[in-house]
Amino acid sequence: MLHFRTFPVTPTLGKLCSPRPLKSSNCPRFSMVSRENDDQKMKIPHVMTVAGSDSGAGAGIQADLKACAALGVYCSTVITAVTAQNTVGVQGVNILPEDFVAEQMKSVLSDMEVDVVKTGMLPSVGMVKVLLQSIKEYSVQALVVDPVMVATSGDVLAGSSVLPVFRNVLVKGGDLPASMDAIDVFYDGENVYELSSARISTRNTHGTGCTLASSIAAELAKGLPMLSAVKIAKKFVDAALNYGKDMAIGRGRHGPFDHLLKLKVCRSVAPRAFSPSDLFLYAVTDSGMNEKWGRSITEAVKAAIEGGATIVQLREKNLETREFLEAAKECVSICHSKGVPILINDRVDVALASDADGVHVGQSDMPVSLVRSLLGPEKIIGISCKTPEQAHEAWVNGADYIGSGGVFPTNTKANNRTIGLDGLKEVCLASKLPVVAIGGIGASNAQSVMEVDAPNLEGVAVVSALFNAECVSSATKQLHANLKQAVRTRS
């Protein structure tokens, strides 16, 4: 069944995808401070949901509350209808009077700073008018509309005549039968984006639509642009579905899933969404090499960024945890100030504690799905793959990119099988994920790597070519120039 989840821009609301940036510099705490103490106030991203209650708590208001809580966003609730509902179906609906819905909205909007309004069940035209009246009166940044245009039963609930008023539209493909992938199509008024992920096989899908829409609203409330919000919301739904796929709640066909999977999504600033082009020049540290040249990890990372590194990984195999954590915190701060993502090799604990952007794991490290449930949907997860089978698995398990190698022989990683340029190409062609090549790569052979005919090969990851050089920034600059040249030749 195809549900249309739509996001309109109305003239009164202005641009949908530019909620105001948040001024908070700490993780959200759910303590409300009175207006009189405005100067002490910590701004909490806030979504107000206007929707129906689901007594089974899989969808509606209850799903919105759980999704927002899991994503670290405050959610106030305006209830339009109370449904008697379970996993079997809807046994009864009691619609609240329009003036009382208006009163709830007034209570919330007159008192609290709402960033984004998300709507679900709006059971009458009068209710829509009440909503529009309220959001005209109080300033909100964005409106996320979730009208179920086609019910699970197949009944058309809203005709095609409503479509022209929508400007941003996300069409969910999760309910399409007989597909290995869950493909959603997002249109932002200019471009069409296909957002695909592996389909999760589970009966526990009740409430996915509400959750997707409220997660988008939550990410918008944090200050993310629309496309990033949609991508993160989709990952959150995938992670929650995966986490709760074997739960047994209710005897009906579609059970609820677990929104409050053990996620820790709590960070100081809104993350910049991962882009495959970040993998262009991937600097992977080695403190042994840096020590040899008399520089600290932070000096080495600064120099690599100065030379043009587009992403950094701290691969510190010999540091004690405390030392690693201190270096990670400093490097996270350096990288974030330069807008460069930073990942931690192997250590999920260090990544969490230092607020790094993600983790790179190998085939014998912690499994990607577990890393995802620990790190949450916003973090970047890379996985090493040497074979097409591993590359396919990486996609299914929800990784963001693949590191593939050793492409050439290397002294940096002991007993590492070399897969060559042909092996690299096989890995690339077996996955929809972006790939970065690693192993024995430097300025002299980077061009041959970038000539591999695979559209998802995004760049090279290097250790010794940068950090075993006397001058890290010059070595990085040289490699960057050669990569640029290779890309020019490729196109």
Ligand X SMILES: Cc1ncc(COP(=O)(O)OP(=O)(O)O)c(N)n1
Distance, C-alpha 74 to centroid of its chain: 19
Report the partner that residue 382 touches, choosing among ligand TZP, Mg ion, ligand X, none (CB closer than 5 to 8 A by kind).
ligand X
The answer to whether 220 and 229 have CB atoms below 8 angstroms apart is yes
Residue 439 contact among ligand X, Mg ion, ligand TZP, none, beta carbon within 5 to 8 Å by kind = ligand TZP
Return the SS3 of 119: strand
C-alpha to C-alpha distance for 330 and 302, rounded to whole angstroms: 10
* Choices 116-124, 198-206, 269-277, 435-443; region in contact with ligand TZP by CB under 6 A: 435-443
Catalytic position from the list 315, 347, 379, 386: 315
**The tokens of 213 are what?**
């829409």
- Cβ neighbours of residue 369 closer than 8 Å, sequence gap 6 or more: 242, 397, 398
Q: Does residue 214 belong to the site contacting ligand TZP (CB under 6 A)?
A: no
Binds Mg ion (CB under 5 A): choice among 173, 225, 362, 388: 362
Residues 350-409 interacting with ligand TZP (rule: CB under 6 A): 405-406
Residue 129 Cβ vs ligand X, minimum distance, rounded to whole Å: 54
Q: Does 175 bind ligand X (CB under 6 A)?
A: no
Task: Please work out the total of residues on this chain that contact Mg ion, with binding judged by CB under 5 A.
Answer: 3
15 tagged catalytic: no
Which structure tokens are listed for 442?
A: 């430097």
Query: Residue 113: which of 35, 7, 28 has the closest Cα?
Result: 35
> Of the listed pieces 72-80, 81-89, 184-192, 457-465, which binds ligand TZP according to CB under 6 A?
457-465
Residue 19: count other Cβ atoms within 10 Å of its Cβ: 23
- Nearest-approach distance from CB 340 to ligand X, in angstroms: 15
436 touches, from ligand X, ligand TZP, Mg ion, none (C-beta below 5 to 8 Å by class): ligand X
Catalytic residue among 43, 272, 329, 413: 413
Which is nearer to ligand TZP, 377 or 439 (by Cβ)? 439
Among 182, 332, 375, 461, binds ligand X (CB under 6 A): 461
CA 448/CA 385 separation, integer angstroms: 20
Angle between helices 226-243 and 60-70 (to 10 degrees): 100
Tell how many helices (H) and how many strands (E) occur in the chain: 15, 17
412 binds, among Mg ion, ligand TZP, ligand X, none (CB under 5 to 8 A by kind): ligand TZP
Site string for ligand X, 244-283 (x = CB under 6 A): --------------------------------------x-
Residue-wise DSSP of 243-311? HTTT---SSSSS-B--TT-S-----SSPPPPP-GGGGSEEEE--HHHHHHTT--HHHHHHHHHHHT-SE
Residues 6+ apart with CB under 8 A from 183: 173, 176, 194, 195, 196
β pairing state of 192-198 and 181-187: antiparallel
Residue 404's closest CA among 337, 449, 349?
449
**Segment 300-359, which members bind Mg ion (CB under 5 A)?**
346
- Cβ proximity to Mg ion: between 326 and 365 the closer is 365
Q: Pick the stretch among 6-14, 136-144, 199-207, 412-420 that binds ligand TZP (CB under 6 A).
A: 412-420
Residue 25, strand partner residues? none
Distance in Å, CB of 246 to ligand X, minimum = 28
365 binds ligand X (CB under 6 A): yes
* 463 interacts with, out of ligand X, Mg ion, ligand TZP, none, CB within 5 to 8 A per kind: ligand TZP
- The answer to whether 315 is a known catalytic residue is yes
Asked if 276 and 458 count as a contact pair (C-beta separation under 8 A), the reply is: yes
Stretches 89-97, 104-112, 393-401, 462-470: which one binds ligand TZP (CB under 6 A)? Answer: 462-470
What interhelical angle do 388-396 and 420-429 show, nearest 10?
30
Is 141 within 8 Å of 115 (Cβ atoms)? yes
Q: Is 416 in the site for ligand TZP (CB under 6 A)?
A: yes
β partners of residue 345: 360
Residue of 287, 354, 384, 473 with catalytic role: 384
Which one of 9-17, 69-77, 419-427, 456-464 is the stretch in contact with ligand TZP (CB under 6 A)?
456-464
* Residue 384 annotated as catalytic: yes
**Does 436 contact ligand X by CB under 6 A?**
yes
Q: How far is the CB of 386 from ligand TZP (least distance, A)?
A: 9
Measure the CA–CA gap between 48 and 68, rounded to whole angstroms. 10
**Starting at the edge strand that comes first in sequence, how are the strands of the sheet with 90-95 ordered?**
90-95, 74-85, 46-54, 116-119, 142-145, 4-7, 168-171, 181-187, 192-198
Tokens of 97: 């009077």
209 binds ligand TZP (CB under 6 A): no
Nearer to ligand TZP, 131 or 466 (CB): 466
Mark the segment that binds ligand TZP (CB under 6 A) among 216-224, 245-253, 258-266, 433-441: 433-441
365 binds Mg ion (CB under 5 A): yes
| Residues designated catalytic | 315, 384, 413
**What residues make contact with ligand TZP under the rule CB under 6 A?**
405-406, 410, 412-413, 416, 438-441, 462-465
Residues at the interface with ligand X (CB under 6 A): 282, 284, 313, 315, 345-346, 360-362, 365, 382, 384, 403, 413, 436, 438, 461
What residues line the site for Mg ion (CB under 5 A)?
A: 346, 362, 365
